[in-house]
């Protein structure tokens, strides 16, 4: 079985933690490899090497940093072939097509972000009698924490944005799905990123986060994961005044109005909801349908859902794989059983009776009680509750009822109605008449319990920079101050 190592100070190495972590194929529940677990001394060395390399990396000419990162993007693209797709699917559970699609998105994001490393982030605030400029300064060593659901894309968003800004990074990646992290770090190593500029750790999440966030070396934290864990990490980071970016849980509402294109809405929602078995913070997780078109929409969505083939993602005919691990399956089952116990009607799907793998079929629920747990908790799985509404005000109130605010979706042909909804919908990202992903050049971030800060685009890179405002008087009107990283 394959063994996956850590990368610290420019060297691949075994872990000194208590024991390696076993990798389990979520489609078969069989072990097929292991991941090294970082020990206390290795975490300290990762931090020390990131601190040591920071000076050389931040003072490197931005054009040179961009050149190295562009080369790394090309090398990563070369690694994203069928072999990586197969390993990715066996580790994560998503289908081969989904693994291929995520890797392609990660390459696109890598290439775009690398090209921004020499972007002129300084801003001129000069007055007639004095020169005044805000120069971007890399904030320092970054502790990045990435989850198992979209590891390739989310690692690129954090690590490459940090490196493009001139920061160095200690990455704590998800030990369940190590392959994308290893490929990205290997590409950076081969492209000539200085030793220590990027470090890769696997192991006990609580122990590693405690050590990284209690260190005065760490000056920036970026985390994607659950709201519960994000709040704990934010509290730890606050003790050292570590700047933080948090992309946390979502419970994305979808509002279907009576003038919507019902067939197109159903097809779009089914495709986006059940991607990665519903394990996405942006996935639609509450469908509110205007009562006059509820039967029509339910029939259309049930028809689309019936087309989904569940099974081992390595089978190219399968369109939805298993959940990633046993804990996730148990959580989804608990939400399903609670909803049914409180009177929900199962339109399609439900629990599988037997067999290996962490499978749960695409499930539609109606007639839910207001106090059903699935309406308050993000399901993070292939269950979709459908609720009727009669008025626009009722739809908005129900959509904003949870404390989350990551994504939301509206289906209507009325531009005025869409505008009315969007001005009141408490989310950081919304789309109208589509289920659209976020492109590399656009920033996105949650509100309320879905986090704070931005990722993606130039604004995402600026999260790793601090503007130093400098005022010059006398002799600097035409002269350019020394170049700053």
β-partners of residue 3 are 34
Q: Do the Cβ atoms of 363 and 348 come closer than 8 Å?
A: yes
Q: How far is CA 380 from CA 7, 177, 273, 360, 457, in A?
A: 31, 17, 10, 12, 26
Q: Do the Cβ atoms of 375 and 224 come closer than 8 Å?
A: no
Q: How far is CA 420 from CA 269, 412, 469, in A?
A: 22, 11, 40
β-partners of residue 348 are 364
Q: Do the Cβ atoms of 322 and 357 come closer than 8 Å?
A: yes
Annotated catalytic residue: which of 85, 98, 247, 275?
247
What span, in angstroms and rounded, lies between the C-alpha atoms of 211 and 204? 11
Order across the sheet with 123-124: list the strands: 123-124, 131-138, 465-472
Order across the sheet with 11-13: list the strands: 11-13, 6-8, 198-201, 168-172, 141-145, 218-224, 243-247, 451-452
Tokens of 187: 């590409």
What span, in angstroms and rounded, lies between the C-alpha atoms of 243 and 256? 38
Cβ count near 231 (within 10 Å):
14
User: DSSP state, 41?
Assistant: H
Q: Do the Cβ atoms of 387 and 368 come closer than 8 Å?
A: yes
Q: Rg for the chain (alpha carbons), in Å?
A: 23
What span, in angstroms and rounded, lies between the C-alpha atoms of 190 and 192? 5
Annotated active-site residue 247? The verdict is yes
What span, in angstroms and rounded, lies between the C-alpha atoms of 311 and 320? 6
What span, in angstroms and rounded, lies between the C-alpha atoms of 130 and 34? 61
User: DSSP state, 127?
Assistant: B
Q: Do the Cβ atoms of 402 and 448 come closer than 8 Å?
A: no
Q: Beta strands 383-389 and 361-366: pairing type? A: parallel
Residue in 236, 264, 274 with CA at minimum distance from that of residue 383: 274
Beta strands in 205-355 (DSSP E): 218-224, 243-247, 252-256, 284-290, 345-350
β-partners of residue 387 are 288
Annotated catalytic residue: which of 281, 314, 455, 463?
281
What span, in angstroms and rounded, lies between the C-alpha atoms of 470 and 463? 20
Catalytic positions, written as ranges: 247, 281
């Amino acid at each position: 079985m394959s063994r996956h190592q850590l990368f610290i100070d420019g060297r691949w190495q075994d872990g000194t933690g208590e024991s390696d972590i076993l990798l389990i194929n979520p489609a078969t529940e069989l072990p097929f490899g292991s991941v090294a677990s970082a020990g206390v001394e290795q975490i300290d060395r990762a931090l020390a090497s990131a601190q040591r390399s920071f000076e050389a990396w931040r003072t490197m000419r931005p054009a040179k940093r961009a050149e190295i990162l562009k080369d790394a993007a090309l090398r990563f693209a070369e690694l994203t072939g069928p072999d990586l797709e197969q390993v990715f699917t066996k580790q994560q559970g998503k289908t081969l097509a989904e693994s291929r699609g995520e890797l392609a998105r990660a390459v696109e994001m890598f290439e775009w972000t690398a090209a921004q490393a020499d972007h002129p982030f300084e801003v001129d605030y000069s007055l007639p009698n004095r020169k005044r400029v805000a120069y971007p300064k890399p904030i320092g060593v970054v502790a990045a924490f990435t989850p198992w659901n979209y590891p390739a894309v989310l690692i690129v968003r954090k690590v490459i944005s940090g490196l493009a800004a001139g920061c160095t990074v200690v990455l704590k990646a998800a030990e369940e799905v190590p392959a994308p992290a290893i490929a990205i770090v290997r590409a950076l190593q081969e492209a000539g990123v200085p030793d220590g500029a990027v470090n890769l750790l696997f192991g006990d999440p609580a122990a590693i986060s405690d050590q990284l966030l209690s260190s005065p070396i760490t000056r920036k934290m970026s985390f994607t994961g659950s709201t519960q864990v994000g709040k704990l990490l934010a509290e730890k980071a606050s003790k050292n005044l570590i700047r933080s970016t948090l992309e946390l849980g979502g419970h994305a509402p979808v509002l279907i109005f009576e003038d919507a294109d019902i067939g197109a809405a159903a097809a779009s929602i089914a495709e986006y909801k059940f991607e990665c078995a519903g394990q996405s913070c942006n996935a639609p997780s509450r469908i509110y349908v205007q009562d006059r078109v509820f039967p029509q929409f339910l029939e259309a969505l049930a028809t689309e859902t019936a087309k989904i083939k569940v099974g081992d993602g390595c089978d190219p005919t399968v369109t939805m794989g298993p959940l990633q691990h046993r804990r996730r399956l148990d959580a989804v089952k608990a939400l399903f059983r609670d909803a049914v116990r409180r009177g929900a009607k199962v339109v399609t799907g439900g629990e599988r009776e037997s067999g290996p793998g962490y499978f749960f079929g695409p499930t539609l629920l109606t007639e839910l009680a207001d106090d059903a747990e699935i309406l308050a908790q993000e399901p993070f799985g292939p269950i979709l509750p459908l609720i009727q509404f009669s008025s626009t005000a009722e739809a908005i109130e129900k959509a904003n009822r949870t404390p989350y605010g990551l994504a939301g979706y509206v289906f209507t042909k009325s531009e005025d109605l869409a505008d009315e909804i969007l001005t009141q919908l408490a989310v950081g990202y919304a789309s109208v008449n589509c289920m659209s992903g976020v492109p590399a050049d656009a920033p996105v971030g949650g509100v309320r319990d879905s986090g704070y800060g931005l990722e993606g685009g130039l604004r995402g890179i600026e999260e790793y920079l601090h503007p130093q405002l400098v005022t010059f008087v006398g002799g600097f009107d035409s002269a350019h101050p020394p170049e700053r990283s």
